[in-house]
């Protein structure tokens, strides 16, 4: 365990904060609050300026596009979003035949494709919990021209989409199973193969969002684990960083040197006792990382 100086970067107190993404061009952090009324956040650490946009449906993951706008995964598909216009414009619907599903975690690869995870919808219109009755989730590869194909099927809660620094290994978590899987990845063809267990450590809660650092370590946000865990490239646990919130949801490396780790958290499901003990849970936290992260690729579409 590393007791680093974890600080509250933005006191947003989201019900279900997620999708942390650092934008090097703007030097700001984007993240989101999933349940309705869903919101997109943007925080400038240099000035402390915090902006947010209300969304017409739940949003779950995002990427920067080369034209400066955003690609946003939402409840019913993929969307273009320009903060200057403030509205979602639908561009693709990978699971039109599965109305019971919603998008979840996602990330762009180094070739400019976007990988969108899905799951059975577990959030009602007022943020209430709904049962996840089946492993109907998948991982979709979305090309820059918005064509897409299904790469992985049969996942209950798709999370933690990330790649090794050489792009030869894809990591995907099934949070419900408490397992992070590793796959062989062909960057040229976007082929995924040879699934194996990278980590099935159940002592640290549930694996949620993830990021890979410059040394190939996988940082896993741990729902109900009150920490971020760093795993070595061979899957062994290296250390954990305690976070002052029980439900830790995503992590992104930012700052000019990518040594600031930003962590989102959730208030969803918190008891009165938890709220008293962790009053700022649901907020955005940050700490100085002992290992530099990697810049996040852009979506090429």
Contacting residues for 271 by C-beta, under 8 A, at least 6 apart? none
Dihedral angle sign, alpha carbons of residues 108, 109, 111, 116: negative
Omega before residue 37 within 30° of 0, cis: yes
Q: What DSSP assignment string belongs to the chain?
A: ------EEEE----SBEEEEEEETTTTEEEEEE-SSS-EEEEE-TTT--EEEEE-SS-EEEEEEBTTS-EEEEETTEEEEE-TTT--EEEEE-TTTT-TTEEEEEEEE-TTS-EEEEEEE--B-TTS-B----S--EEEEEE-TTS-EEEEEEEESBEEEEEE-TTS-EEEEEEGGGTEEEEEEEETTTTEEEEEEEEE---TT-EEEEEEEBTTSPEEEEEETTTEEEEE-TTS-EEEEEE-SSSBEEEEEEESTTS-EEEEEEB-TT--HHHHHHSTTTTSEEEEE-SS-B-PPPPB--
Q: Which is the catalytic residue, given 14, 15, 109, 208?
A: 208
Residue 298 near residue 64, CB atoms below 8 Å: yes
Asked about 44 being catalytic, the answer comes back as: no
* Active site members: 208
């Amino acid at each position: 365990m590393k007791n680093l100086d974890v600080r509250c970067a933005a006191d947003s107190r989201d019900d279900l904060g997620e999708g942390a993404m650092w934008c090097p061009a703007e030097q700001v952090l984007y993240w989101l609050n999933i349940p309705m009324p869903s919101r997109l956040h943007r925080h400038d650490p240099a000035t402390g300026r915090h902006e947010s946009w209300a969304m017409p449906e739940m949003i779950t993951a995002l990427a920067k596009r080369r034209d400066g706008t955003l690609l946003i995964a939402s409840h019913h598909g993929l969307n273009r979003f320009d903060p200057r216009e403030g509205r979602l414009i639908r561009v693709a619907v990978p699971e039109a035949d599965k109305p019971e599903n919603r998008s979840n975690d996602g990330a762009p690869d180094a070739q400019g494709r976007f990988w969108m995870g899905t799951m059975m919808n577990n959030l009602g219109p007022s943020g209430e919990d709904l049962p996840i009755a089946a492993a109907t989730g998948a991982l979709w590869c979305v090309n820059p021209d918005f064509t897409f194909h299904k790469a992985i099927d049969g996942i209950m809660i798709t999370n933690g989409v990330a790649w090794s620094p050489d792009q030869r290994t894809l990591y995907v978590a099934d949070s419900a199973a408490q397992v992070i899987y590793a796959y062989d990845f062909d960057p040229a063809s976007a082929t995924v193969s040879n699934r194996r267990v990278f980590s099935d450590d159940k002592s640290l809660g549930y694996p949620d969002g993830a990021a890979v650092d410059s040394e190939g370590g996988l940082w896993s946000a741990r729902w109900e684990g009150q920490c971020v865990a760093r795993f070595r490239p061979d899957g062994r646990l290296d250390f954990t960083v305690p976070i002052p919130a029980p439900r830790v949801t995503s992590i992104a490396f930012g700052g000019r040197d990518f040594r600031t780790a930003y962590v989102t958290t959730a208030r969803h499901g918190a008891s009165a006792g938890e709220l008293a003990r962790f009053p700022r849970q649901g907020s955005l936290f940050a700490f100085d990382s002992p290992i530099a992260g990697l810049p996040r690729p852009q979506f090429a579409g």
